[in-house]
A and B are shown apart, each in its own frame.
Chain A
Amino acid sequence: MSGDSRLLGFWYVLPYLIGLLVFTAIPFLGSLYLSFTDYRLMHDIDFVGLQNYIDILTSDRTFTRSFNVTMLFVALTVPLKLAFALFIASILNSKLKGIGLFRTAYYVPSILGGSIAVAVLWRYMFADVGMINMLLTGLGFNAINWFGNPGTALFTITILRLWQFGSAMVIFLAALQSIDKSLYEAAAIDGAKPWRAFFAVTLPLLTPVIFFNLIMQMVQAFQEFNGPYVITGGGPLKSTYLLPLYIYEMAFKKFDMGYASAIAWVLFAVIMVLTLIAFWSSKYWVYYAGDKRS
């Protein structure tokens, strides 16, 4: 194993390289090119320069609406989900009996939550005559027209994604359990109350995992499709018409591939910029153990 062993490893990763080129890299550049064209499936490709982007950013009111709704959805869902996951993880992080049972119970929705069956369940739970409204009226509240109201329709999708906090929680829990217990003893000796210890010891040590979860959940939330497609159908008044839904209808209903690609690239640019901001800002708030900075 000498001379040609330099290339041996290359043969093993060759399938990945081929897949990367054919199914990722070329489509990636392809959609960038398409975004500068007017192309409907089975028609000729016309190069139109920046026209799609100009239309999107200046005259497409559906885009503006869809963009705002998407930002609202992400801004609502991601922080709530992370906070909730961290809250439950820190409660679970102690020598409790039956911790395994709770962990399983909380993780099950994450296993199922992506399924269409659960989206269907949500649609029926929040329906006018659904279980949630019966519960509300039973408790003496007024029934809410969840899907008829722009304010509440988006919220049902947010609740569905919050319900799936399990995988973020399991990651937090693993990180919490790896924190050196002597740090808490030291904090207690210095007179720190539990809350103070949480903010002074736990939170800084968790920042790398918070950062990881933040990026993953954000990228995912921006691509939310099943929820609006099945639960609300994008309505009412396009109040749940998230960008992936708009892209899907543009591309696969109207077959306006050029324009749809341009919207996809705007969405991609938004995700990229926010990810880069997160990475850039991480040096101010993410603490890596063993790092000399304080």
Chain B
Amino acid sequence: MSDSIIHSDEKILEEAEQYLAAQKRRQNITLVIRYTILTVVGLIMLYPLFWLIGASFMTNEEIFGGVGFMPANPVMDGYIEGWQTSTPYTFGRFFWNTFLIIAPKTICTVISCTVVAYGFARFDFPGKKILFAAVIGTLLLPNVVTRIPQYMLFNELGWLDSYLPLWVPSAFAGDAFFVFLLLQFLRSIPRDMEEAARVDGANSFQTLIYVVVPMLVPAMISVGLFQFMWSMDDFLGPLIYISSVEKFPVSLALKLSIDTAESFEWNRILAMSVLTLLPSLVVFFLSQKYFVEGISAGGVKG
């Protein structure tokens, strides 16, 4: 009797071991499958970028000669000739213009959105609910429906072919998404410090500058980075408002280059494409954690 119990116990143990071993094997197989899929998809995803970078160091003959991305004899022709462009200006000019558009826009966005988010997060005032509903509503509002009257407004103001239409809306917290993002961060920050500052006699603005802003810096950096990236990518805005080539940002200059005779010089255009992508790439790799935090906090378009 006791013998058979011991015997069946051993049997159970054996079966359990077999079961665990099988499970382990299954897990290993799934792991291999997972890594294989991730690697293959990752390589397919990144291949166009590798090719872009490689081809920018090739001669045109080599670009048309094969699908490989490693240039046999790297040459800088694309960069040197592409930089000159077919316009009277170099690409340096277009980069400078891009900077002139983006820097004020980013700074205005960070400041105005912080102030507005502070107002929403820390105060009650008449009409707050309606205004907050507007923040959420404009998140979903397609720009296509406001663009034409905006253009007419800027036309009336005599702002066409200047950077003002690109700057000014950002000074009025024009991107509701960023207000929303900062609001989410502000809600997670305890108010104790602010109340202490108020007890010590600081007014609400001093509290904002000396207490809230230092705690909000990571979120403000996220906002600045997103605005930087999106403004680098913005094409339709400059396309509508900027008409003289001397004021073109890189996005318009690149479009111009594929419309001209230069379009046969693939290496030039690919080289300038690499340069156009470079600022966003560098900023992204230097500041990854802010992005991941920002996306997780607000949920992001893109």
Identify the A interface with B (CB < 8 A). 1, 5-13, 15-20, 22-24, 26-28, 30-31, 34, 41, 88, 91-92, 94, 96, 102-118, 120-125, 129, 131, 134-135, 138, 163-164, 166-167, 170-171, 174, 212, 215-216, 219-220, 222-223, 225-226, 229-230, 244, 247-248, 251-252, 257, 260-261, 264-265, 267-268, 271, 275
Contacts and interface: CB of A to CB of B under 8 A. Distances in A.
B229 interface: yes
Contact of B146 (A28, A129, A248): A28
A108 B288 CA distance: 10
Given A7-B125, A11-B119, A108-B46, A135 B67 contact: yes
A13 B119 contact: yes
B198 interface: yes
A226 B145 contact: no
A23 B146 contact: yes
A260 B148 contact: yes
B48 interface: yes
B140 A219 contact: yes
Contacts of B151: 251-252
Interface string B20-61: 000000000001001101100110011011011001000000
Contacts of B277: 112, 115, 117-118
A125 B49 CA distance: 11
A134 B67 contact: yes
Interface residues of B, number: 89
B273 interface: yes
Q: Chain A binding site: helix, strand, loop or mixed by DSSP? A: helix
Contact of A216 (B145, B230, B301): B301
Interface of B: 31, 34-35, 37-38, 41-42, 45-46, 48-49, 51-52, 55, 64, 66-67, 112, 115-116, 118-120, 122-128, 131, 134-135, 138, 140-153, 155, 169, 171-174, 179, 198, 204, 229-230, 232-233, 235-236, 240, 250-251, 254-255, 258, 266, 269-270, 272-274, 276-277, 280-281, 284, 288, 291-292, 295-296, 299-302
A282 to B, nearest CB: 14
Contacts of B112: 15-16, 19
Given A121-B52, A167-B300, A248-B240, 20 more contacts: A9-B124, A9-B128, A11-B119, A12-B116, A15-B112, A15-B116, A16-B131, A19-B173, A20-B172, A22-B172, A115-B233, A118-B277, A120-B254, A122-B48, A170-B295, A170-B296, A174-B296, A225-B235, A225-B236, A244-B144
Nearest to A194: B30
Contacts of A123: 258
Q: Is the interface of B mostly helix, strand, loop or mixed?
A: helix
A268 B142 contact: yes
A9 B141 contact: no
B34 A116 contact: no
Contact of A115 (B120, B171, B280): B280
B38 A102 contact: yes
B240 A252 contact: yes
Given A5-B123, A134-B67, A223-B144, A16 B179 contact: yes
B169 A20 contact: no
B220 to A, nearest CB: 16
Contacts of B138: 20, 24
B84 to A, nearest CB: 18
A179 to B, nearest CB: 15
A138 B270 CA distance: 23
A140 B125 CA distance: 69
A246 B169 CA distance: 25
Contacts of A109: 45, 49
B38 A91 contact: yes
- Sort A-B residue pairs by CB-CB distance and give the 5 closest, nearest first: A9-B123, A19-B172, A12-B119, A30-B149, A27-B149
